[in-house]
Amino acid sequence: MCGIVGYNGNSNCFPFLISGLKSLEYRGYDSAGVAILTDSVVNLVKTQGKLDNLREAFAKAPLQGVLGIGHTRWATHGEPNDINAHPHKYGRVTVVHNGIIENYRELKEALMAKNHHFTSGTDTEILAHLVEEELNYGSEPLAAIWKTIGQIRGTWGIALLIDGYSHTLWCAKNGSPLILGQGTDESMIASDIPALLGATREMIFLEDGDVAQLDGPDIRIWEGPNVPVERAPQTIQWNPIMAEKGGYKHFMLKEIFEQPRSVADTIGERLHADTRTVTFSDFIFDPKRFDRVFLVACGTSYYASLIGKYLIESTARIPVEVDMASEFRYRNPLIGERDLLILISQSGETADTLAALALAKEKGATVLGIVNVLGSAIARKSDHTIYTHAGPEIGVASTKAFTAQVSVLVLIAIHMGIATGTLMGEALAELVGAMVRLPKQINKLLSQSAQINVIARRYSHAPAFLFIGRGINYPVALEGALKLKEISYVHAEGYPAGEMKHGPIALIDEELPVLAVAPEGSTSEKMVSNIEEVKSRRGKVIAIASQGDTNMGNLADDLFMVPRTHPLLQPILTVIPLQLFAYYTADIKGTDIDQPRNLAKSVTVE
Ligand code: M6R
């Protein structure tokens, strides 16, 4: 999960490469580098660490050229240092790569036996050696690339330059995303849409197995050796501003504050309040076709799936199984033709989720993807796709994608409930009405964000936190704990409140604050008891409660009120103070909020 960019045109390429890499830095930030063709020779500047290091290194040894490639790395093979930073050059061939070459060891040994000398510990370097080897046998570049691809196994997004070829950039894709940008006098490549938005909105999504050749603005694509293919450009509606911070200190904060818009856009024209129906452009649920639903995802998207189980089971009365994708693929799941597998993924690229997709298809299940990134692998491979219209999410910690995912799940639950005849009349009207009010309520909630900042400051020295919730708000507790862990590096655990007395209550003392997600509802009395149990052991409680809940006000040490809504919609509101709590805690600690250590936005390796 690295980021790749490339430029081929008639302007100096470095500004495009560096700004493209900046918008891809969320994909990995262990090292970065560029390769630029000057006087028919490709020269490299690369360095360990973030892009600022690359900028500094480049300022000391600047390169001018109109053809170049760049890379930002999340290390898989070989530690993050200058040598292992991409690009890698061998002989005439320079390459950047996203993915994993699984059989690189055996290929490397074979090449070493032919006196090839390797400088890095990466799997990527093998690509430059293989292409160079084929060039030495007299192959033309395109043929050399196809022969190389014929020898490797694994996943790749590759961009490649060759000394002496002053007008051409080659690239190839298999399992890692690669998008081509079509300009008037130029063409570009990138791993993700935001990197191209500043230059063009006309984009071509390469398919797995494709090789492309870019000569200035001329783009040619092959789906096999000597098999040319046309891939139509799509006009992308995202605008460059959406991928910028817009005056916020961090992308994460901007993305939290975008939620009124992202939830409204996701509900969009799918919810017909007048007729109380929900329609999707690419999916109609037929209850006669399916006995069960599976929800499978990773991380935050998995927590959205847990909420999806509550939603679908309570409205449509269809049994739902939820799995982490990394577990699903190895448990030989009992899934078949009469099952609907719903995969949830912001990036649409997560390796485990993709593997779940392949497995379910093999077993004959129908796959519905809920995806944010347009044209991503899960979107393309699913039988049906529903996009969350969250817009580009750059912060590594997922926020607006989560509430958009839950919004889609509510829509699916309504759609299914109507189809099965289990959601109708007053119950349907209440849910639809509440859904319509939601974006304004999120806005109102966000206008009180300063209160959360004050609470976060009060507890910022706590060494650990416990998050508790019940029912549909239990996954919110899990999500709140994940947010805090990943950006503030403070240990946090999410727990079902009813399970406290089966173990975790032993942890309670004055030092361990408990965040209780406790809006009104069928389990609120139980939550009150659970909070009393914490209080009577001198624990400190921060409660997320419903507006006007005086009971909770008297009980908790600190309180944040969320607007009242339909119980099934509560997670979309209750999660927001937890996102803010994590954000403000991390900001106080001064961590790298948008790019927390050891993480990358999309996890395209197992
Ligand atoms: O792109 P996906 O939704 O498939 O990603 C899944 C997880 O990797 C992701 O949600 C991760 O847990 C985030 N860092 C959470 O903030």
Strand partners, 312: none
Sheet holding 320-324, edge to edge: 320-324, 292-297, 339-345, 366-371, 384-387
Q: Is residue 522 pLDDT above 90, yes or no?
A: no
**Structure token digits, residue 520:** 């009104």
| DSSP-assigned letter for residue 432 | H
Q: Is 13 a catalytic residue?
A: no
Residues 140 and 281 in one domain: no
Classify 315 as helix, strand or coil.
Answer: helix
Domain count, the chain: 3
Say whether both 205 and 345 belong to one domain. no
Q: Are 230 and 293 found together in one domain?
A: no
Residue of 2, 13, 171, 298 marked active site: 2
What is 159-190 written as a DSSP string? Answer: EEEETT-TTEEEEEEEBS--EEEE-SS-EEEE
67-71, 275-279, 524-528: least confident range: 524-528
Rg (CA), the chain: 25
Element (H, E) at 289: none
Do 547 and 495 fall into the same domain?
yes
Residues 273, 329, single domain; the answer is yes
**Digit-coded pLDDT (tens) for 202-245:** 999 999 999 999 999 999 999 999 999 999 999 988 777 777 78
CA dist 346 and 400 (Å) reads 10
Q: Is 464 strand, coil or helix?
A: strand
Does 539 fall in a domain?
A: yes
Q: What is the pLDDT of residue 186?
A: 97
pLDDT(172) > 90: yes
Domain extent, residue 307, equals 245-445
Reply yes or no on whether the pLDDT at 77 is more than 80: no
Task: Answer with the one of 404, 426, 445 that is the final residue of a domain.
Answer: 445
Asked if residue 210 and residue 269 are part of one domain, the reply reads: no
Would you say 78 and 71 are in contact if contact means Cβ atoms under 8 Å apart?
Answer: no
In short, whether 353's Cβ falls inside 6 Å of ligand 1 is yes
pLDDT at 326: 94
What is the average pLDDT across 74-85?
Answer: 80
Mean pLDDT of 555-581: 96
Q: What single DSSP character describes residue 193?
A: T
Expressed in angstroms and rounded, the spacing between residue 295 Cα and the centre of ligand 1 is 15
Q: Which residues pair with 38 in a beta bridge?
A: 41
Task: Provide the token pair at 284.
Answer: 């109609």
481 lines ligand 1 (CB under 6 A): no
How many CB atoms are located within 10 Å of the residue 61 CB?
Answer: 9
Q: Using CA atoms, how far apart are residues 293 and 365, in angstroms rounded to an integer?
A: 10
pLDDT surpasses 80 at 137: yes
| Amino acid in position 43 | N
| CATH code, 286 | 3.40.50.10490
Residues 438 and 463 in one domain: no
**Cα-to-chain-centroid distance, residue 240:** 19
Q: Is 595 in the pocket of ligand 1 (CB under 6 A)?
A: no
Q: How many angstroms separate the CA atoms of 426 and 405, rounded?
A: 25
Q: Are 40 and 120 within one domain?
A: yes
- 350 Cβ inside 6 Å of ligand 1: yes
Residue 603 CB coordination number (10 Å):
19
The residues that bridge with 464 in the sheet, in sequence order, are 491
Same domain membership, residue 186 and residue 271: no
In 3-state terms, what secondary structure has residue 121? coil
Q: 345: which 2 tokens?
A: 């993924």
State yes or no: pLDDT of 603 exceeds 90: no
User: For residue 360, what are the contacts with CB-CB under 8 A and spacing of at least 6?
Assistant: 294, 296, 333, 335, 339, 341, 367
Out of 309, 400, 540, 601, which one is annotated catalytic?
601
